[in-house]
A and B are shown apart, each in its own frame.
Chain A
């Protein structure tokens, strides 16, 4: 289904709503409307998928960096030109335009006059020659009319031969007119003729070749968290989550920090430790909360079972309900859009993790206790020491006088998604990658984006 046909099926309002959804700029009311639309319309889901794919492709374009520090030359230019704040601004574009304004206007007027004169001469000559020659004068191909009951191949014969009498039933057909009769390919066999035996005997040159690669097309699932109270919906979700090895999920939330806090409680309750990237930590800090700096976060977790995911969403919904009782409209998660992870999602994940030249995160090595056999021991040991000193990396430092708790077996990585991205040298990401363990069968990986709404 092409974009144009999708466009005609959906109203302009619906399309605008979906655009705002992709942009993460919906108000709470619009969000409800968008989710309703996505529930009911497969066309809307398809259009959303395509637009999200385009947005992801744009995000994946490599970031260009300057190979030099501009500060010194700019400061030097400021000194050389004796520039001061408050002086009239210079413009490179202005410097390049050396012609006075009247010269451009005169040139435009002269060109217009020439066109007008040319048109007049052309049309007056055409009128004198008579209407039957107009098509030839215009340089159009003239084809004789094909008899209504004539055989098809006659058209070609007539077309290839020069027309004997163009005046007899001739019609003008523009060469580029899509409605015109297309000229058959020169190598096309004559249908009236028997095929050459040698051609028939020759093996099919494309037999056994893969002509097209079938692109996996999946429809996003919209999960309303409130629906998870119903057993059939739970079963349906479980069934869906068992179909693919990895999912990208997007949840429009009112406040991404609050939403993350609720998810965090649900994750740790299930023995999943959190590794929070430094940039994300800054964006979750008290100062950021106070300044209401909006940030979207992304959480990546591996080796979770579909059952655990359902429980996770149920816990988040329960936390929301609890919060709603205390403060109206404090619920964060209304719905989650679930998609199988596409190639583009895998590439995006690798970029987030700072892995250069990798299109898909490779499976963790199957060495003992998740140790990376490719990594020198000294590095691993240094990491372990750093982890225990920092009390991070998913292994909380025990409180004084209390025994050390059991380290979580699995880790979830939390990174900022927009407008900032994790630093390429993020130690938390390195720690997460170093702590990955072989996957258990029947588990899935999840990339969950918490997208703050209300733009």
Chain B
């Protein structure tokens, strides 16, 4: 484990909650990005991240240091996000795209871009995000952890609390499903 993290955790366990603030600052953006992609809503993502940090703080004495602190934190956040997502699924399907941020982004003001390119890119992002949102929370989580976060199978297994073989199968199925969804949209 990162020596710095270890030092901060030790300080937290000694009752110095400000040290936990440093850990929050260190990991909040990475955690938020993953959670945001899982729950698709900035406010929900913020809630989940906040809860994950508070839960982590309360469980800190149970952290044995066998894995990276971030992996452990991820596990708490991803599982909270997945269960949140499962509960919200029905609501989301009625509500449509609640997520303004994943919709069309402001146009590209670059001098190098040709007209319409920003729109194309926004559409492509929207297509991917839409296909991603149609996957089950478990499939979506493995794709995000692998492709967006660059996690290895072993770390993913630890985060999601399943064997490595399950991660392999889930990723395999998730990729096939995503491909199918994208092809359907393209057609």
Mark B112-142 against chain A: 1 for CB-CB distance below 8 A, else 0.
1100011001001100110010000000000
Return chain B residues, CB-CB under 8 Å to A74. 20-21, 24, 50, 53-54, 57
Q: How far is B32's CA from A419's CA once the two chains are assembled, in angstroms? A: 16
Option from A16, A22, A75, A86 in Cβ contact (under 8 Å) with B61: A86
Return chain B residues, CB-CB under 8 Å to A19. 168, 171-172, 175
Mark A119-160 against chain B: 1 for CB-CB distance below 8 A, else 0.
000000000000000000000000000000000000000000
The 9 closest A-B pairs by CB, nearest first: A418-B150, A419-B150, A71-B21, A357-B110, A58-B147, A85-B60, A71-B24, A86-B61, A64-B36
Q: How far is B55's CA from A2's CA once the two chains are assembled, in angstroms? A: 45
Q: Nearest residue in A to B18 (C-beta to C-beta)?
A: A75
Q: Nearest residue in B to A66 (C-beta to C-beta)?
A: B32
Known: A23-B153, A59-B147, A59-B148. A16 touches B22 (CB 8 A): no
Question: How many chain A residues have a CB neighbour from B under 8 Å?
Answer: 60
B58 and A54 form a contact (CB under 8 A): no
A54 and B175 form a contact (CB under 8 A): yes
Q: How far is B150's CA from A434's CA once the two chains are assembled, in angstroms? A: 29
Option from B24, B152, B176 in Cβ contact (under 8 Å) with A294: B152
Q: Nearest residue in B to A360 (C-beta to C-beta)?
A: B112
A61 and B129 form a contact (CB under 8 A): yes
From 139 to 160 in chain B, residues with beta carbon under 8 angstroms from any chain A beta carbon are: 143-144, 146-154
Shortest Cβ gap from A256 to chain B (Å): 13
Chain A contact residues, CB within 8 Å of chain B = 2-4, 7, 15-16, 19-20, 22-23, 25, 50-51, 54-55, 57-66, 69-75, 77-79, 83-93, 294, 296, 347, 356-360, 362, 417-420, 455
B32 and A362 form a contact (CB under 8 A): no
Return chain B residues, CB-CB under 8 Å to A90. 51, 54-55, 58
Chain B contact residues, CB within 8 Å of chain A = 12-13, 15, 17-18, 20-22, 24-25, 28-29, 32-33, 36-37, 42, 45-51, 53-55, 57-62, 80, 83-84, 87, 101, 105, 108-110, 112-113, 117-118, 121, 124-125, 128-129, 132, 143-144, 146-154, 168, 171-172, 175-176, 178-180, 182-183
Main secondary structure of the interface of B (DSSP, over half): helix
Return chain A residues, CB-CB under 8 Å to B128. 57-58, 61
Known: A64-B33, A89-B55, A455-B153. A3 touches B179 (CB 8 A): yes
